[in-house]
Amino acid sequence: MQHRVIDAKDVVIRFAGDSGDGMQLTGSLFASMSAVYGNSLSTFPDFPAEIRAPKGTVSGVSGFQVHIGSTDVNTPGDFCDMLIAMNPAALKANAKWLKRTATVLVNQDAFDDQSLLKAGFKENPFDELGISDRDILVVPISELTAASLADSGLDKKSVDKCRNMFVLGMACFIFDRPLEYLFGYIEGKFGKKHPEMVEPNKKVLSDGFNYAANLQMVANTYHVAPARLEKGLYRNITGNQATAWGLMAAAGKAGLPLFCGSYPITPATAILEELALHKYLNVKTMQAEDEIAGICTAIGAAYAGNLAVTTTSGPGLSLKSEALGLAVMTELPLVVVDVQRAGPSTGIPTKTEQTDLNQILYGRNGECPVVVVAPHSPAHCFDAAFDAAKIALEHMVPVVVASEGFLGNGSEPWRIPSMADYPEIRPPFAKSAEGGFKPFQRDPQTLVREWAIPGQKGFEHRVGGLEKDHNGVLSSDPQVHETMVRERAEKIRRIASVIPPLEVKGPEKGKLLVVGWGGTFGHILSAVEEAWEKGLEVSFAHFDYINPLPDNTGAVLSGFDKVLVCELNSGHFAGWLRNSFPEFKYLQCNKVQGQPFLVQEILEAIEKALKEA
């Protein structure tokens, strides 16, 4: 066949198989390699929700989608240009994401009668799924991997684990990816502890590449040129890793030790694991026995003068609610990172949503406001975590970082910043006890109280969950209680003066403003850009700060006839805006499926909103 190399602006590849097929590693390696090559990219790991789901079943399929481009890439892509399916269940679970022009690569050795039956197929899976018109490559991957490693001395189980590297080699040929980065990864991973695995993995990777090249299995291969990125040193980073690094950067800027007390929970555990690697940066981590202990140890660390952090997801945030109220009452700096997942209760632990927002805003007893910051991309998690820590430390308040599984597990290229470009963090340490220390006496401008570290003579004071007056004396006086309640709320409201104003992409006045928060950023931006290409009158504003809202929020909203709020819940942020600015007309675009938006879904909502009288 005539072979052509096609210059593509962007491509989307989806790797899928059983949890033991190594598709998460394969996808992340392809993404990291593309980042090193210089492409813009966005990833979407899609884990099975069941622990040890039966092998070969649709519920046990693990997927990893990578979108690489030579221009800006804002989403992992709605549909894929290539699907690699290691078994029939993976094909069945992911066929709906195929483009009409997509290529499908399947492992012929896994498509036996028993596996087809287990996945729910009767005879021909391609006909039954209606995808026979796609470019389908049926390759005996298991057999070829075994042949590649016949002289390696590895046992059958170890050989089977190398199938993903054969597939990765084929993908590298089809999408014109250099193998050198992968060779370096293999040497780094196995070189010290398992040197016997270095050469077999490099060989099977090369054999997969050469198999696809020599047999000319595909008529076309694709070249995606490096993107024109701002000059600097880049690395591929996940949102959870970026969050951990942002917190460490803030601790360094504040000159404080960092303490993280947490209980492992999907999908937030990776933050605790990352922080635990950096003891040399004065980071202390504690894996507590439960969620309550995690936040309580963090509150104790805040009292003792640390940048205190606790990490969790929705069910854990529920358990932390009383102690979070204690942090509000004591006015101690605390950062709570909530990497949201699908609920309620245990819900679907591996799936993403934005369904914790009402809990974050309202889920405590009494008048108990907290600052809420929301990152909008995996790389932005660094800045969001840094800002959250700065606000917590300088204003003596708890701050919740409303992240999401889509952001925490997803990745993108991140330009490594210079810490000289980040502002200093100046906690309001108590300096003078002359006249007696009053722990809740406030700065008249910011209403921030001073932070007295234990062990300082003359700064002894009470903390705890009972109401106190400005002197720190326990009080049940109704007027004292109302004064303290209003001051705590007003302190948070005044933080609006130090956060960036809300920015509008597109005209500042018009028929429709689309707004979102958190990880919906890339999908909304892509939908709005498509709407502009169609000549539609629409603008976009994204909220990185939920409480307090930016000072200019009302002025921005007033410039538009209608506001379309897009979020992965039933309308939490729309309700927050209605409560804050009831005078405007709000429409909603909601999705509660444990999956990110499709760009097309938002575009359709925009078109519908503009058509409505």
Identical fold, 4-223 and 504-611? no
List the beta bridge partners of residue 335: 309, 399
3-state class of 538 per DSSP? Answer: coil
Read off the pLDDT of residues 397-452 as tens digits, 9 standing for 90 and up.
Answer: 999 999 999 999 999 999 999 999 999 999 999 998 888 999 999 999 999 999 99
How many residues in the chain?
Answer: 613
Query: Token digits for 126?
Result: 């391609």
278 or 219, greater pLDDT: 278
What pLDDT is attached to residue 52? 76
Instruction: Quickly list H helices, 495-589.
Output: 521-533, 553-557, 572-580
What is the band of 512 on the pLDDT scale with cuts at 50, 70, 90?
very high
What pLDDT is attached to residue 426? 98
392 or 213, greater pLDDT: 392
Flag whether pLDDT at 220 surpasses 60: yes
What pLDDT is attached to residue 20? 86
CA dihedral 543, 544, 550, 553 (to 10 degrees): -10
CATH code at 4-223: 3.40.920.10
Read off the pLDDT of residues 35-71 as tens digits, 9 standing for 90 and up.
Answer: 989 999 999 999 888 877 888 899 999 999 999 999 9
pLDDT, average across residues 182-206 = 92
Flag whether pLDDT at 233 surpasses 80: yes
210: left (phi over 0), alpha (psi -120 to 50) or beta: alpha
pLDDT, average across residues 131-147 = 96
Q: How confident is the prediction for the chain on average, in pLDDT?
A: 95
What is the band of 229 on the pLDDT scale with cuts at 50, 70, 90?
confident
Q: Please state the pTM of the whole predicted model.
A: 0.95
H helices, E strands: number in the chain: 21, 22
Question: What percent of the chain is modeled with pLDDT above 90?
Answer: 90
pLDDT, average across residues 146-173 = 94
- Residue tagged 């942020």 (tokens): 573
23: left (phi over 0), alpha (psi -120 to 50) or beta: alpha
Q: Is 364 exposed, middle or buried (0-12, 13-18, 19+ CB in 10 A)?
A: buried
R_g (Cα) of the chain, nearest Å? 26
Task: Name the pairing type of β-strands 10-18 and 371-373.
Answer: unpaired
236-417 carries CATH number 3.40.50.150 = no
Read off the pLDDT of residues 515-560 as tens digits, 9 standing for 90 and up.
Answer: 999 999 999 999 999 999 999 999 999 999 999 999 999 999 999 9
Whether omega before 444 lies within 30 degrees of 0, making that bond cis, reads: no
What pLDDT is attached to residue 194? 87
What pLDDT is attached to residue 613? 59
pLDDT, average across residues 23-28 = 95
Flag whether pLDDT at 133 surpasses 70: yes
Flag whether pLDDT at 386 surpasses 90: yes
pLDDT, average across residues 129-152 = 95
- Is 594 within 8 Å of 351 (Cβ atoms)? yes
- Is 510 within 8 Å of 502 (Cβ atoms)? no
d(CA 192, CA 494): 54
Which CATH number, 3.30.470.10, 3.40.50.970, 3.40.190.10, 3.40.50.920, labels domain 504-611?
3.40.50.920
Which segments within 111-161 are labelled E, that is strand? 135-139
Flag whether pLDDT at 268 surpasses 80: yes
Flag whether pLDDT at 2 surpasses 60: no
Query: Token digits for 402?
Result: 């409303």
Which segments within 89-233 are labelled E, that is strand? 98-107, 135-139, 220-223
What pLDDT is attached to residue 221? 87
Those residues whose C-beta lies under 8 Å from the C-beta of residue 592, and which sit 6 or more positions away, are: 342, 353, 355, 568, 569, 570
pLDDT, average across residues 89-95 = 97
Between the alpha carbon of residue 339 and those of residues 377, 381, 526, the distances in Å are 13, 11, 24
Residue ranges of the domains in the chain?
4-223, 236-417, 428-498, 504-611
Flag whether pLDDT at 3 surpasses 70: no
Question: What percent of the chain is modeled with pLDDT above 70?
Answer: 99
Read off the pLDDT of residues 578-600 as tens digits, 9 standing for 90 and up.
Answer: 999 999 999 999 999 999 999 99
How far from the centroid of its chain's Cα atoms is residue 340's Cα?
9
462 or 533, greater pLDDT: 533
Flag whether pLDDT at 341 surpasses 80: yes
pLDDT, average across residues 223-229 = 92
d(CA 57, CA 59): 5
Q: Quick one: DSSP state of residue 230?
A: P
d(CA 512, CA 379): 29
Burial code (b: 16+ CB inside 10 Å, e: under 16) for 475-495 equals beeeebbeebeeebeebbeeb
- E strand or H helix that includes residue 284: strand 283-287
